[in-house]
Structure 1
Amino acid sequence: MTQIAPNMAKNNFSLRVQRRVLLLRRCVCCFWDRVLMCSPGKPIRYRMLSRPTTPAALSASADDSSTPSWNLTIPPPPACHQSGNQDHKDSDLVPLKISLLGDSQIGKTSFLAKYIGDEKDEQEDNQEKGLNLMDKTFVVEGARIYYSIWEVDGAEKSQNHIPLACQDSVAILFMFDLTSRCTLNNVISWYQEARKWNQTAIPILIGTKFDDFIQLPIDLQSTIASQARAYAKAINATLFFSSATYNINVNKIFKFITAKLFDLPWTIERNLTIGEPIIDF
């Protein structure tokens, strides 16, 4: 296979520096939290998060049964793997960074956890307040690809993480809840902020909770789909409707990114049928 990442050494160094800065900040925050735990003060009140409801039945076959023509396998994690924070010094490893942006409570973390799969359990501590990092390693045509995925919490106070999360990313996923039109309206703000720090990353627009979306009246589905397509066109992004619960278009989105980055021979079919998971480009 030809060299697929001639400029990855620079990205690898930059990514390594960012991770070490983040690790240092996490250690400082952990130390400060321990100090506060020993100090008297008002008790902290926690809010119970509600669990999402799911429809009685929905076929999971709508997603990623199709596989690209190129060979893609997921190797077992190395024995010394620790929370996804190890320095990747393997000469054949291609490190790439992907960002996830969008409002709170729209399913970003569930989407990411579905894609990471079993590797998620090894990365529980790889988090900072307002920022969630997860890793995925797989093999394409003999090359080991390492995706470092940075999810920014949707809270306003977490938006100071956007510069760190977006710099050097090869793709930025802008996500919204298909059942909440205000989260779609906010996509433009997320896009504008991200582009301040990264003008070259591949933009992807993702509508989450498709399994809830199809319970809406068909005319409302049509209106939301039309608006989402217009927004995708405005930011020059490929549009996917997805469901983490039923694994609809989750893996397909990352296959699309991989094929796009390395010019691999794989295509997706456009789907504009209302009531089905939209794919538009």
Structure 2
Amino acid sequence: MNGQQVDVKVMMLGKEYVGKTSLMERYMHDHFLVGSYQNTTGAAFVAKVMSVGNRTVTLGIWDTASSERYEAMTQIYYLGAKAAIVCYDLTDSSSFEQTKFWVKELQSLNENCQIYLCGTKNDLLEEDQRLRRVDFHDVQDFADDIKAQLFETSRKTGQSVDELFQKVAEDYAMWMPSN
């Protein structure tokens, strides 16, 4: 790869138990762990290098703790973030309401951060549509208002997970000026 190196700091935000850690696990290792995850304490970091056109893009992904006791510490991670994947559980309406808090906080601390809204646990809806508690059109309206892109994913099946992270990488590879 002869092109320019692009480093993108990506934040994973959202209410506890929406699937941020397992979404990142699916993307990084292409597998789904059955059973419960341990709550993230502070933040976890992984990096993935990929090629986008003639550029090398490194996504530095920060999976942040969501509980209130870590809130002040999480704000530190916003500094320098180029992208934020704000997650909510498609089967939990309160998790979508919480995205508004994360977006507002992020925008007040880092106005240049591109936001990607990510509905998780879409596999549960494939089994039973009655489990959906977050209306797609409401989320699309919110995404339009904040100029965010919207993805509905399943960390269990992998649906739209790679596409989400690929879009983040492509957006920043395109926005960076050529040498």
Interval of TM-score (by shorter of Structure 1 and Structure 2): 0.7 to 0.9
Cα contact 1:210–1:241 (8 A) shared by 2: yes
* 1:99 aligned residue (3, 11, 33): 11
Which residue does the alignment assign to 1:204?
A: 116
Counterpart of 2:86, as a letter, is F
Cα contact 1:171–1:203 (8 A) shared by 2: yes
Which residue does the alignment assign to 1:247?
A: 158
Deviation string, structure 1 residues 174-206 (Cα, Å, up to 9, x no partner) = 100000010001111010111122111111000
- Confirm or deny that 1:191 pairs with 2:103: yes
Higher normalized strand content (fraction of residues): 2
Deviation (angstroms), 1:254: 1.4
Which residue does the alignment assign to 2:44?
A: 132
Distance in 1, Cα, partners of 2:140 & 2:70: 28
Larger radius of gyration: 1
- Confirm or deny that 1:235 pairs with 2:143: no
TM-score under structure 2 length normalisation: 0.82
Which residue does the alignment assign to 1:256?
A: 167
Which residue does the alignment assign to 2:24?
A: 112
SS at match of 1:196: helix
Which segment drifts farther, 245-254 or 130-139? 130-139
Which residue does the alignment assign to 1:177?
A: 89
Going from structure 1 to structure 2, the CA distance change for 1:94 and 1:260 (only over 3 Å counts) comes to closer
Which segment drifts farther, 240-249 or 191-200? 191-200
Which residue does the alignment assign to 2:137?
A: 226
Cα contact 1:130–1:155 (8 A) shared by 2: no
Identical aligned pairs, as a percentage?
23
Deviation string, structure 1 residues 214-269 (Cα, Å, up to 9, x no partner) = 33446x749621222222123221111000110100010111112222228xxxxx
Which residues of structure 1 form unaligned runs of 5+?
A: 5-92, 119-127, 265-281
Distance in 1, Cα, partners of 2:46 & 2:102: 21
TM-score under structure 1 length normalisation: 0.54
Going from structure 1 to structure 2, the CA distance change for 1:217 and 1:137 (only over 3 Å counts) comes to closer
Could you say what the CA RMSD is over the residues aligned between the two structures, in angstroms? 2.4
Q: Which runs of 4+ in 1 moved over 6 A?
A: none
Distance in 2, Cα, partners of 1:263 & 1:189: 29
Cα contact 1:243–1:249 (8 A) shared by 2: yes
Larger RCO: 1 or 2 (CA < 8 Å, sep 6+): 2
Cα contact 1:99–1:169 (8 A) shared by 2: yes
- Equivalent runs, 1:21-60 vs 2, <5 Å: none
Distance in 1, Cα, partners of 2:46 & 2:147: 26
Which residues of structure 2 form unaligned runs of 5+?
A: 31-39
